[in-house]
Amino acid sequence: MWSFLGLLVLCSLVSPSQGGPKGFSHGILSIVSPATARKYVSSIFLRHELLQSHFLAIQFPDVPHKDKHPENWIKELHVVRVFTPSVSLELYEKVDSLVCIKTRFHLSGKFFFGKHFERIDIILDVDIKAEVRFDSYFAGGFHIRMQVCKSEFAIARIICPSHLLVNKVRPTVTTILAASFHKTVCTAVEVVINVSGVDFLHTANVFFSVGTVATMQYQLASLPLITSNYVALEFNMIIRTGGRYITLPVGAGSVSLPVLHHHGFCLGMSQASLDAILMVLIQIRVQEFISTPEVFSAASELTTAIASLLSHQKCPKCPLKAPLKITISLVGIRRIILEPKRAVIELSVEIALLAKGPSGSLVGLFVMKANLKLSVHASVFGGRLFFTTKLASLELLLVSSQVGPVNVSVLVKLMKLLIAETFVPQVNECLDVGIPLPPVLHIRWNYPAIHFTQGMLALCV
């Protein structure tokens, strides 16, 4: 039995003063407070009256009283109504947890009063405790077993044709319920646990489309980790793009989450996992354009700067007034640097400058490499994580030159403006697809707190 209760079995109180788990290597993990876990269990048990519907389906056998006398016969005993149950958890350190259910049943049946059967109604207070244990992780799921189930009932009221007959009915009802109530009620609870397990797996093992470039899958990576203060879940991430698969972790280092504080749930994504995602998301074709004011606001200044820079070369290829042709190519890896309270995306581009030669054909001048650092603003909307970037700094290097040595450092200011106007918008367009977030425990990603820590981005609600 795969179940979300495997997670909940593990939970123990999360202290606001305690930090998150350390030493994880899967790169994507979450921690859950016991209060959030309890709320989830209760909501699943009671959603669409799941628990009540299984209790209502209980049928008690038609069994005569032990002395076989027909006047003690009761038949067609069944559940008419289940009052809204209260569902809670008692959480333990290791692998056990106690699901506690309190409710009230309205039973109805027919009792033989000597000459004929008359309807009787029974109001029953019910207390159920089911001890559950999880094990056997496999391929994103695990088994959950109901180890022990105990049930107690107390007859609150019996309604008969005459109140004088209550004392006659009570012993028979008590005997029948003592013989069959425990088994039927615990069977219903076990079924609900199994049904609820499917729900949890649907929230933890999920597929998403990432625009048109990839599909992404979150999958439970192991059994939950339990401490005295939190329960943690690790995830694998599988990205499919262009017919190939990227599986995380890919040698991700040890990561840790910040404290929960007043939050009930935190999801952490390591630097390594975000690097892999950015490599997929940021796919930009080579940009080629003629440097005109309509495309680049400082086109004239750039043409003048290049002419001035190369005039001492006395090169017939060097532009004087003709606009330049520029190509910008994304090269190398894309990586994000996560530090306390800030994040920076690092990537590199090659900028090639071409000009018309004496024959009118385009001739390459030189190629520069620009190492970019983009400051990152993170936000969450519609269950997706979005990054918006701005150019923070640029390092300019000469890669090759057709016109001899060139001092490209004098072009840094113009290149920063060029990249900010032409390339950074392309990066933001790629990132506008967003990174899907797993809806673990049906968490709603409405205005989460976003924390940048060393090597980790954490989202807490």
Q: How far apart are the first and last CA of the chain?
A: 29
Tell me how far apart the alpha carbons of residues 320 and 66 are, in angstroms, rounded to a whole number: 112
Lowest-pLDDT choice from 34-43, 250-259, 358-367: 250-259
Provide mean pLDDT across the span 382-405.
Answer: 95
> How far is residue 335 from each of residues 104, 282, 403, measured CA to CA in Å?
58, 10, 33
Mean pLDDT in the chain? 85
Nearest to 231 by CA among 261, 204, 264: 264
Domain residue limits, the chain: 5-16+30-204, 282-435
Q: What is the 3-state secondary structure (H, E, C) of 275-315?
A: HHHHHHHCCCCCEEEECCCCCCCCHHHHHHHHHHHHHHHCC
> Is the pLDDT confidence value at 14 over 60?
no
Buried b (16+ CB within 10 A) or exposed e, 177-192: beebbbebbbebbbeb
Provide mean pLDDT across the span 118-129.
Answer: 94
Nearest to 420 by CA among 371, 353, 369, 374: 374
> Is the pLDDT confidence value at 387 over 90?
yes
> How far is residue 106 from each of residues 84, 102, 109, 111, measured CA to CA in Å?
12, 14, 10, 16
> Is the pLDDT confidence value at 314 over 70?
no
The DSSP symbol for 256 reads -
> Is the pLDDT confidence value at 273 over 60?
yes
Higher pLDDT, 257 or 297: 297
**pLDDT-derived band at 349, boundaries 50, 70, 90:** very high
Phi and psi torsions of 177, nearest 5°: -65, -40
Distance of CA 361 to the CA centre of its chain: 55
Angle at 49 between CA 48 and CA 54, to 5 degrees: 125
- Residues in contact with 304: Cβ distance below 8 Å, sequence separation at least 6, in sequence order: none
**pLDDT the model gives residue 62:** 74
**pLDDT the model gives residue 12:** 31
Tell me how far apart the alpha carbons of residues 25 and 255 are, in angstroms, rounded to a whole number: 7
**pLDDT the model gives residue 60:** 85
**pLDDT the model gives residue 250:** 47
**pLDDT the model gives residue 20:** 47
**pLDDT the model gives residue 160:** 86
pLDDT single digits (tens) 56-106: 999 888 765 555 555 567 888 999 999 999 999 887 776 578 899 999 999
pLDDT single digits (tens) 250-265: 444 566 666 788 899 9
Helix/strand/coil percentages in the chain, nearest 5: 30, 45, 30
**pLDDT the model gives residue 107:** 95
Q: What is the CATH number of domain 5-16+30-204?
A: 3.15.10.10
Question: What percent of the chain is predicted at pLDDT more than 70?
Answer: 85
At 54, the amino acid letter reads: H
User: Mean pLDDT: which of 242-256, 305-319, 390-404 is highest?
Assistant: 390-404
In contact, 280 and 217? CB cutoff 8 Å: no
Distance of CA 357 to the CA centre of its chain: 57
Lowest-pLDDT choice from 248-252, 291-295, 307-311: 248-252
Buried b (16+ CB within 10 A) or exposed e, 58-78: bebeeebbeeeeeebbbeebe
Tell me how far apart the alpha carbons of residues 159 and 108 are, in angstroms, rounded to a whole number: 9
> Is the pLDDT confidence value at 114 over 60?
yes
- Residues in contact with 425: Cβ distance below 8 Å, sequence separation at least 6, in sequence order: none
**pLDDT-derived band at 197, boundaries 50, 70, 90:** confident
What predicted TM-score, i.e. pTM, was given to this entire model?
A: 0.83
> Is the pLDDT confidence value at 164 over 70?
no
pLDDT single digits (tens) 399-421: 999 888 889 999 999 999 999 99
Q: Say if 5-16+30-204 and 282-435 have the same CATH topology.
A: no
In contact, 34 and 12? CB cutoff 8 Å: yes
**pLDDT the model gives residue 452:** 94
Nearest to 127 by CA among 159, 167, 98, 169: 98
Provide mean pLDDT across the span 120-135.
Answer: 92
**pLDDT the model gives residue 395:** 97
> Is the pLDDT confidence value at 316 over 90?
no
**pLDDT-derived band at 299, boundaries 50, 70, 90:** very high
**pLDDT the model gives residue 143:** 86
Q: 282-435 is classed in which CATH architecture? A: Super Roll (3.15)
